[in-house]
Structure 1
Amino acid sequence: MRRVIRKVFRNKVFDRKVVLITGGCAGIGRALAVRFAQGGARLVLLDLDQAALDGMAQHLADHHNAETLALRCDVADAQAVRAAVALAVERFGGIDVLVNNAGITHRSAFVETDLAVFERIMAVNYFGALHCTQAALPSIQARRGQIIVLSSLSGFAPMLYRSAYNASKHALHGLFESLRLELRDSGVNVMLVCPGFTATDIRKHALVGDGSVTPQPLPFLGKVYSPQDTAEAIYRGAVRRKRLLVLSNVNWGARLLARFCPRLFERVMVPRLSGLKPQAR
């Protein structure tokens, strides 16, 4: 295993390549920025907090000698995304890899969730990825690069009180699986990534039904991945230009159960995945 890790670490696939990461200052996005920097990439980071962006750019320069363009950008704003991508192309000459990582979540029952929450979740998780991909695609096609999309365990396993979040992840699969077909002869790779439960800050900014922000506990009751472990797996998948990367804390038996015995899965596994402790009898 150590030999494999060293081999991938030395891999020069991304040396001098331009990698744009949305939500690049925290969690998986931050860990990916560090990992691609270690691989020799030049980074474009989009996030909402300019101070965090500046600090991240300085960290990458000081510790990894990485060239970084850090831009404040709300991916839900199509015009802002186009401007940010144009700046990246002007600075570095193009984009080789787009990582659609930015996302938000919520915890609220469907009947208690305002329409505005559904709209905001879709604006960031789905339309954010759509905006970035539309803006960057001409450059990615010219460089025969790749698009990486952060989906979720929710892509194949429903969870309670996450209807808007789950819907946004299913929408990503529909969009990018279709796009992959359209790009199959272009040399562009599209990789969908379905991480399991990962210890990130996304739940600290979770929405509730009325749209306010309320920190939520990690729902999963089992093993939780670190952002660094998830980023390493994504990096290896990118090196190999994989189509689908499932990094789930839920074992294959549970996934088969979800597909072929959905009612049993919903009764046995969904409460655990949703962080609901078994009721005493």
Structure 2
Amino acid sequence: MYRKVFANKVFDRKVVLITGGCAGIGRALVLRMAQAGARLVIFDLDRASLDSLVQHLQDHLNCEALGLECDVADAAAVERAMALVVERFGGIDVLVNNAGITHRSRFIDTEVAVFQRIMAVNYFGALHCTHAALPSLLERRGQVIVLSSLSGFAPLLYRSAYSASKHALHGLFETLRAEHRDAGLGVMLVCPGFTATDLRKNALVGDGSIQAQPTLTLGKVASPQDVAEAIFQAALRRQRLLVLSNVDWRARLLARVFPALFEKLLPRLSGVKPPVAGD
């Protein structure tokens, strides 16, 4: 259930661009921002889902919205899409780098092409979008929100490419924040825990093929709506880091202070069983 917006007008009429906005956390955040009066731009690869979501926003939330079919891994496509956004809306106030993919396979069984694909979407996708939007964001003293993961600061079994991409995001965006600390640019890294999204349904395996993964069973699995609400509230405060996880700050502390113990607990914390040969 979405919370009602009361007197808060922080995002009213602001231009909010969300990548991977047709499903999961991205879609929930689109709807939450629309509730807050924002004007929405949605990047996704599914044209039918884009059209349906934009129609829903217009019909039910009286929201001005634009859906653009855009592969964030394609730098030229991102540049063209951003130019269209600036032409139509005049600029961008908030960029949410949400688009991402995952995999499940041992490092030894994972082809290099899988690493390249994961990095192309998760890391370079965020880089492309932020690089293209940055002049407008700086002009408007805007905000960049980046969907990372618990694996952005701690290892996660059978997700070496995914974890590497999230670590890279932290390096990039923490540096970006430092470089523009006096320019009014907000940068928030968000580290959700296990969330009920469709990400696992399109997970890659070691040879690059897609294979749906079993639902994780560790602790309470968060809903996209609850994660979106937490992101929204943190964005209001222009928070720097938001950690949302069933193992939350304790896992982060354990990984940093007692890394050997953390590694022993990884199979349970990861919530997955080892992939067998042929997976």
TM bin (shorter chain): over 0.9
Partner residue of 1:198? 195
Partner residue of 1:252? 249
Partner residue of 1:101? 98
The 2-side partners of 1:226 and 1:119 are apart by 29
TM-score (norm 2): 0.95
- Contact 1:219–1:273, Cα closer than 8 Å, also in 2: no
Q: CA deviation at 1:6?
A: 6.6
- Contact 1:144–1:187, Cα closer than 8 Å, also in 2: yes
- Contact 2:40–2:66, Cα closer than 8 Å, also in 1: yes
* Alignment partner of 1:40 out of 22, 37, 44: 37
Q: What secondary structure sits across from 1:19 in the alignment?
A: strand
- Contact 2:243–2:249, Cα closer than 8 Å, also in 1: no
Q: CA deviation at 1:170?
A: 0.1
The 2-side partners of 1:104 and 1:159 are apart by 15
Residues 28-177 of structure 1 aligned to structure 2 (within 5 Å): 28-177=25-174
Superposition RMSD in Å? 1.5
Q: CA deviation at 1:255?
A: 2.7
Q: What secondary structure sits across from 2:17 in the alignment?
A: strand
Alignment-mate amino acid for residue 252 of structure 2: R
Alignment-mate amino acid for residue 32 of structure 1: L
Alignment-mate amino acid for residue 27 of structure 1: G
Alignment-mate amino acid for residue 155 of structure 2: P
The 1-side partners of 2:272 and 2:12 are apart by 45
Identity, in percent, stands at 75
Q: What secondary structure sits across from 2:195 in the alignment?
A: coil
Of 217-226 and 47-56, more deviation after overlay is shown by 217-226
- Contact 1:75–1:129, Cα closer than 8 Å, also in 2: yes
Q: What secondary structure sits across from 2:13 in the alignment?
A: coil
Q: CA deviation at 1:140?
A: 0.6
* Alignment partner of 2:260 out of 260, 263, 266: 263
1:27 partnered with 2:24: yes
TM-aligned CA distance change 1:77 to 1:277, over 3 Å: closer
Alignment-mate amino acid for residue 253 of structure 2: L
Q: CA deviation at 1:251?
A: 3.9
Q: State the Cα deviation string for residues 201-222 of structure 1 (Å, max 9, x = none).
A: 0010000000000001133421
Q: CA deviation at 1:249?
A: 1.0
How many aligned positions are there? 273
- Contact 2:99–2:125, Cα closer than 8 Å, also in 1: yes
* Alignment partner of 2:15 out of 10, 13, 18: 18
The 2-side partners of 1:6 and 1:71 are apart by 27
Partner residue of 1:275? 271
Partner residue of 2:218? 221
Q: CA deviation at 1:258?
A: 1.6
Q: CA deviation at 1:256?
A: 1.9
Alignment-mate amino acid for residue 17 of structure 2: L
* Alignment partner of 1:186 out of 183, 191, 197: 183
Alignment-mate amino acid for residue 243 of structure 1: R
TM-aligned CA distance change 1:141 to 1:210, over 3 Å: same
Alignment-mate amino acid for residue 260 of structure 1: V
Q: CA deviation at 1:197?
A: 0.7
Q: CA deviation at 1:276?
A: 3.9
Partner residue of 2:277? none
- Contact 1:10–1:39, Cα closer than 8 Å, also in 2: no
